[in-house]
Amino acid sequence: MRSMTRLQRAVENATCQVCIIGQGYVGLSVAAAAAVAGMRVDGVDRDAERVKALAEGHNVVPGVADSLVSLAIDTGRLHFGTDAGVAAGADVVIICVPTPLVEHRPDLSAIESAGRELAAVLKPGSLVILESTTYPGTTESVLRPILESGGRRCGRDFLLAYSPERIDPGNVKFGLRNTPRVVGGVTPEATEIAATFYRHIVDQVETLSTCRAAEMAKLLENTFRMVNIALVNELAMLCASQGIDVWEVVRAAGTKPFGFMPFYPGPGVGGHCIPLDPTYLSWQSRRDTGRRFHLVELAQDINEQMPTYVADRVVEALNDQGKTVKGARILALGVTYKPNVGDMRESASLQVLSALHKRGARITFHDPYVASITVNDVRLRRSALTDRALSGADCVLLLTPHAAYEPGMLVERAQLLFDAQNAVPSRDQPSVVRL
């Protein structure tokens, strides 16, 4: 590519101008990290309110550390706007827009519209990187032709690569810097320059031979997790019927130093990655080979049964205490999809509560991160977590064990504690029932 040496040098020296399309969780994290690493960054988002707040220095994106955003803004190198036209001056453009499923099909319209805007302005000699999660072939077969529709040729006028974001919201051990990056380019030079860019913000970069391999690697990671969760969920149902403690079983298997990795059962699979990303694989398999991706579809089926299964077990636990679910006061603790984050997307908790509510239970809830929820069209406001609320409930249902919940206090106060996540260590407590 013409001007490749100039681009390579600018990226190496961190003197490149960067434009990041989409300022959600993924885009803002990368934008802030790049600015802190010394690069000049324009963060572009079509959401004018989000842009206004960020430009005023307010971090409105849950999960991205306030300290990182302030540090980046204080460098004076990070600016926000709604006009993707600023990409005209960028050496590196990164696309971090949503890729939702609509009626079980990938919706790439945000990538397509970002691509169209870029095609009109792309600077010759620039590098475009796609970070959104998607099915293999998107970068080369969907994004590339759109970018070329402005008359520029990939490999000759601009470079193109794919690098999936692998961040795990709320993970205190692994963040952007110490989670290795996977990068695959359309051409070797695209791979190399994209890898050089990421080495400024990530400790370890793994280069792959193609974009497709990098796209598939991301889907393998999330599918692996989803399938293994389904395995242990199904095992949990069998263990319960046999009077075996599934948590003890997983802990024991986990002592094997090779060939096993522990996964844990729970009320369902939440968040907007693990439940959704494997569908890209099953959708693509059906579309391109006519075959079902059996394991993905089966695992999804099993995981989808879990909220109803947990509700059934709560009904059974009440019954063992001589109570019916109809009219029972159930205090649910934790409704986000995982502990210590405020994200409700695809949270299984609401489905568990919906099933119990339909059977006549009187539901209240507490979550430090959530002020209100809607269960079967009924809006519930968060209750205070008082001794009275805990002891007055027929069942305290621990769905998401946020750090704010002190297990000892729950065991002491609750008449019946249903622990869906093995958060309460004490065994042999008649008032505690575990999934």
- Cβ closer to ligand NAD: 25 or 224? 25
If one asks whether residue 98 binds ligand NAD (CB under 6 A), the answer comes out as yes
Query: Is 330:362 a contact under the CB 8 Å cutoff?
Result: yes
- Helix (H) / strand (E) element for 329: namely strand 329-333
Stretch that binds ligand NAD, among 164-172, 184-192, 357-365, 397-405 (CB under 6 A): 164-172
If one asks whether residue 196 binds ligand NAD (CB under 6 A), the answer comes out as no
If one asks whether residue 159 binds ligand NAD (CB under 6 A), the answer comes out as no
**Among positive and negative, which fits the CA dihedral 360, 370, 368, 311?**
positive
> Collapsing DSSP states into helix, strand and coil, what is residue 431?
coil
Q: Which two tokens stand for residue 12?
A: 């190496």
Is-catalytic flag, 273?
A: yes
- How many whole angstroms separate alpha carbon 338 and alpha carbon 319? 28
- How many whole angstroms separate alpha carbon 435 and alpha carbon 413? 20
For ligand NAD, the binding residue among 7, 32, 69, 114 (CB under 6 A) is: 114
- How many whole angstroms separate alpha carbon 433 and alpha carbon 420? 8
If one asks whether residue 50 binds ligand NAD (CB under 6 A), the answer comes out as yes
Binding mask 242-281 for ligand NAD (x = CB under 6 A): -------------------------------x--------
- C-alpha distances in Å from residue 56, one per residue of 35, 78, 195: 17, 12, 32
- Cβ closer to ligand NAD: 99 or 400? 99
If one asks whether residue 367 binds ligand NAD (CB under 6 A), the answer comes out as no
Instruction: Select from 94, 165, 102, 160 the least CA-distant residue to 133.
Output: 165
Window 347 to 366, contacts with ligand NAD (CB under 6 A): none
- Cβ closer to ligand NAD: 24 or 185? 24
Catalytic residue among 16, 239, 273, 395: 273
- Cβ closer to ligand NAD: 226 or 273? 273
Residue nearest to ligand NAD (CB): 24
Query: Is 40:184 a contact under the CB 8 Å cutoff?
Result: no
For ligand NAD, the binding residue among 167, 269, 356, 373 (CB under 6 A) is: 167
For ligand NAD, the binding residue among 18, 41, 91, 99 (CB under 6 A) is: 99
- How many whole angstroms separate alpha carbon 19 and alpha carbon 359? 52
For ligand NAD, the binding residue among 7, 17, 24, 130 (CB under 6 A) is: 24
Window 303 to 342, contacts with ligand NAD (CB under 6 A): none
If one asks whether residue 169 binds ligand NAD (CB under 6 A), the answer comes out as yes
Stretch that binds ligand NAD, among 90-98, 225-233, 328-336, 406-414 (CB under 6 A): 90-98
If one asks whether residue 343 binds ligand NAD (CB under 6 A), the answer comes out as no
Angle at 178 (CA atoms; ends 230, 226), nearest 5 degrees: 10
Stretch that binds ligand NAD, among 19-27, 179-187, 193-201, 204-212 (CB under 6 A): 19-27
For ligand NAD, the binding residue among 33, 110, 128, 226 (CB under 6 A) is: 110
> Collapsing DSSP states into helix, strand and coil, what is residue 145?
helix
- How many whole angstroms separate alpha carbon 412 and alpha carbon 391? 9
If one asks whether residue 419 binds ligand NAD (CB under 6 A), the answer comes out as no
If one asks whether residue 97 binds ligand NAD (CB under 6 A), the answer comes out as yes
- How many whole angstroms separate alpha carbon 11 and alpha carbon 197? 6
- How many whole angstroms separate alpha carbon 189 and alpha carbon 5? 10
Compute the least distance from the CB of residue 64 to ligand NAD, in Å: 9
For ligand NAD, the binding residue among 3, 46, 71, 228 (CB under 6 A) is: 46
> Collapsing DSSP states into helix, strand and coil, what is residue 79?
strand
Q: Which two tokens stand for residue 298?
A: 């089966």
- Cβ closer to ligand NAD: 5 or 178? 178
- How many whole angstroms separate alpha carbon 253 and alpha carbon 262? 7
Alpha helices by DSSP H, listed for 176-293, are: 188-199, 211-242, 246-253, 277-289
If one asks whether residue 79 binds ligand NAD (CB under 6 A), the answer comes out as no
- How many whole angstroms separate alpha carbon 203 and alpha carbon 185? 19
If one asks whether residue 184 binds ligand NAD (CB under 6 A), the answer comes out as no
If one asks whether residue 283 binds ligand NAD (CB under 6 A), the answer comes out as no
- How many whole angstroms separate alpha carbon 15 and alpha carbon 278? 38
- How many whole angstroms separate alpha carbon 171 and alpha carbon 228? 19
- Chain residues that interact with ligand NAD, rule: CB under 6 A: 21-27, 44-47, 50, 96-99, 110, 113-114, 131-133, 165, 167, 169, 273
Q: Which residues are catalytic?
A: 273
